[in-house]
Amino acid sequence: MSPTQKNGTNSKSEQRLHRLDYLFVLRPTLFFPIWTFALAGKWAQLRFAPSMDHDPLLVIAGVDLSLIIVLGIYTAMMGGVFVLNQIQDVETDRINNKLYLIANGDIPLHHAWILTLTLAATPFLLAFWARWDLVATMFLSLLLTGWAYSYPPLELMKRPIGGTLINIAAGYLVFSIGWMIEASISGRFFTIATPYVLGFIAVYFLTTVPDHIGDRRAGKITVAVHYGLTWTLSFGAVAAIAAVIAAFISSDRIALLATLPILPFFIQARRKKTKASVLKANKFAALVLSLIVCVRFPAYLALLTAVYFFTKWYYRKRFNIRYPSLQT
């Protein structure tokens, strides 16, 4: 092959790789907690509210595709939310040296807005099945985690209490997506969902720690910025303890399996107060619940593996970095 042909081949390969920017700007690894939480909600519904309140959305060859359809649509919408948040966080992401495609200028801002609006409209597809309850729940997620969290006049991500409340609401909403496919929301739902949400909030507190310096410079008053590292890590440990207690109260053995093993890691993070211990606690918490959910939904393990290694390949080829990584 001549040098000209090689250059042409490399150029085409780079073009194809750059087109993938529009997929990875959605930050696919952020879908992991969403999928895990929604599937945990579905599994909880099957255990605690097994009566079917809603007809299947679509059945092909005897296979109910409702779960795939709902999670697919919710994934697309939340991808739009992640792009929307990146649009607002461009300056903060630059300060924190985040390798995000909008902050780096790899994706033009007007392209990001078009992508956001397109993905944000996907819940309307559920109108074909008259599932307005799911449409409303998804748009509430969009309103809270997209607009209220990142944009004025609320900008709750810049307020420690507001950011915490948004994440609590987000935890219940994502859990409800899986639950609502077949069952309606009831008081039992909140009892069952609470230990999972408390575990989610424990992780949220710790996620504010690594970026607290850049957040302070950008005027983003997160929990870690406002209360300091010691108090933030204490909040995380207390939330993890509360999650275990709530799991006992709800008599949910799955929730107990998901919360009890991670408790020592949050206590250790509080004691050591190091970035490595904080990252270890968060990654282990996400890993434990994901693997537990894979027991009930084995195909989910294949999806996690495929997305993880595809993302790893993309960032190595595109930016020559190792991301994501299970190591701390």
In this model, does residue 326 exceed pLDDT 80? Answer: no
Residue with tokens 């194809």: 16
Task: Kindly indicate the confidence band of residue 95, based on its pLDDT and cuts at 50, 70 and 90.
Answer: low
Task: State percent of the chain over pLDDT 70.
Answer: 93
The conformation of residue 157, written as its DSSP 8-state character, comes to: G
Average pLDDT of span 285-313: 95
Q: How far apart are CA 11 and CA 29, in angstroms?
A: 28
Q: Which of 25-34, 76-85, 200-209, 218-227 has the lowest mean pLDDT?
A: 218-227
Residue of 267, 273, 280, 272 whose CA lies nearest to 212: 273
Q: Burial code of 245-259, b = ≥16 C-beta within 10 A, e = fewer?
A: ebbeebebebbbebb
Average pLDDT of span 171-191: 96
- Highest mean pLDDT (candidates 102-106, 108-112, 170-174, 184-188): 170-174
In this model, does residue 328 exceed pLDDT 60? Answer: no
In this model, does residue 324 exceed pLDDT 90? Answer: no
Phi, psi at residue 265, to the nearest 5°? -70, -35
Which tokens go with 37?
A: 């939480």
pLDDT, greater one: 328 or 21: 21
Task: Kindly indicate the confidence band of residue 258, based on its pLDDT and cuts at 50, 70 and 90.
Answer: very high
Q: Which of 63-77, 261-275, 310-324 has the lowest mean pLDDT?
A: 310-324
Q: What is the mean pLDDT of the chain?
A: 90
Average pLDDT of span 71-77: 97
In this model, does residue 21 exceed pLDDT 80? Answer: yes
What pLDDT does residue 321 have? 86
Average pLDDT of span 194-222: 88
In this model, does residue 229 exceed pLDDT 60? Answer: yes
Q: How far apart are CA 46 and CA 44, in angstroms?
A: 5
Domain boundaries, the chain: 20-319
* Residue 235: partners with Cβ closer than 8 Å, 6 or more residues away: 205, 223, 227
Task: State percent of the chain over pLDDT 90.
Answer: 70
What pLDDT does residue 99 have? 60
pLDDT tens-digit map of 104-129: 778 888 999 999 999 999 999 999 99
